[in-house]
Each structure stands twice: as C-alpha cells, then as structure tokens.
Amino acid sequence: MDMPSITDMLPPPAAQNVVAAGGRKGAAAVEAAKQFESILLTQIVQEMGNTVEEGGMLEETGGKQVMDMFYYHLAQEISNKGGLGLWKSIARQIDRSQAPAAEVRP
C-alpha cells in the first residue's frame, strides 16, 4: 500500500499570471518572489524540525546533515507546489517598486 507524499496533498502551483502584463520584468519578479518564499519555507521547516526530540537512528554524526537536507527538499517541494502564496504579494510589490523607475526617461 503506497502512502501519498505530503506534496501530493498540496494544491497545484498557482497560475503564473499574477503579474500578467509585466513581460520579462514580471517573470523576473515572480521568480525572485518564489525563490524568497522557498528560502523562507526552508527556514520555517528547519525550525519546526528543531522542535523534534533528538534520538533514534539520527543520533550519529551525519544525522543533522541528513535532516537538514530533508528539510531543504521538503521546503522545495512545498514551494514547487504553490508554496504559501506569499510569493504573489511579494511579486506585486516588486513590480510596484520598479514601475516608477521604468517610467522615468533620460
């Protein structure tokens, strides 16, 4: 009996049209926002992992490194499946902050 992974239970990635008319700048803002959210998720998952009592198979010297890699990949999977949705607000804010600079012409 196969158990579904946690990432299979997450909703599919959100549509890329959050910054619809932004073109390459919009795509770059979306990518930067998603990368930021991925880093944030990694930190959150690692901190959650720190609350787990130590012991068992991972007491050995490489145990912490293995768990850190697990937390990193778990956060990446969550992010790839749409993450927390925080990236949408971040991408919009990046676009807003760049808009006035793009309108100024020398």
Looking at residue 10, the DSSP 8-state letter turns out to be: S
Task: Judge whether 41 and 47 are in contact, CB under 8 Å.
Answer: no
Task: Judge whether 38 and 75 are in contact, CB under 8 Å.
Answer: yes
Query: What mean pLDDT is reported for the chain?
Result: 73
d(CA 92, CA 96): 6
Mean pLDDT on 27-47: 89
Mean pLDDT on 25-40: 87
Neighbours of 20 (CB within 10 A): 9
Q: How confident is the model at residue 21 (pLDDT cuts 50, 70, 90)?
A: very low
pLDDT on residue 56: 66
pLDDT on residue 65: 83
